[in-house]
Amino acid sequence: MSITRLQGDLLNDFKEQKAMVVEQTELFDPMATALRTSAAQRLAHKAALIITEIVCYLASATTVAATIFMNHIYPFTPLQNVRYIHSLNDIKSLKEEEYLSIVVHALAGFIALLFYIIARMTRSIRLKNNILNLAGKNVKILMGQHLKRKAAVESLEQRHLLDLPSFGGTVSMKNLANTAYATVDNIQ
């Protein structure tokens, strides 16, 4: 009685494993296809991101330097009359060109900050692409393992076709090729 129960439990476990392997293969296959990119394409994307990151860092540093030395660069030389604001009364006594000088310096600083933010975002994208590449490799490995397991399950199912209950439908004895039966008919 316990052997029959053990066989039933093993058959149920086998059916569950087969269904799980099929479901996981259906889930992983689209992900593996979506994450799969060629090495040349990955290299081109990574090179473009690195170049963009470097250019943005250089643009940020250049903008900061230009802001510091702005009073010595030709178009901005009239702005060198900027006063240092120490109190609220100093703000009231500013002239329009001094306001312009402060706004231009603040705008240049803001542009430098934006270039720095863009460079950091590009770095973040590059690092996420590295993680996606690693995930793609791991999904490919998992798909290989699932396909091997699926092949093993199907091999066991084919080997013991008559002993196992039907998984997808009924098995008809008329559709089975039995070589021993065919030779008996030939003899008679």
Distance of CA 165 to the CA centre of its chain: 41
- What is the number of other CB atoms lying within 10 angstroms of the CB of residue 67? 19
The residue written with tokens 């490799």 in the block is: 137
115 close to 59: Cβ distance less than 8 angstroms? yes
pLDDT-based confidence at 137, cuts 50/70/90? confident
Query: Which among 14-23, 86-95, 160-169 has the top mean pLDDT?
Result: 14-23
Residue position matching structure tokens 């609220």: 88
Residue 21 has a pLDDT of 82
Q: Sorting pLDDT into bands at 50, 70 and 90, what band is 183? A: very low
pLDDT greater at residue 78 or residue 135: 135
State the Cα angle at 68 between 55 and 109, rounded to 5°: 60
* 73-94 pLDDT tens trace: 777 776 665 555 566 676 666 6
> For residues 89 and 15, what is the distance between their CA atoms, to the nearest angstrom?
85
What average pLDDT does the structure give for the chain?
A: 77
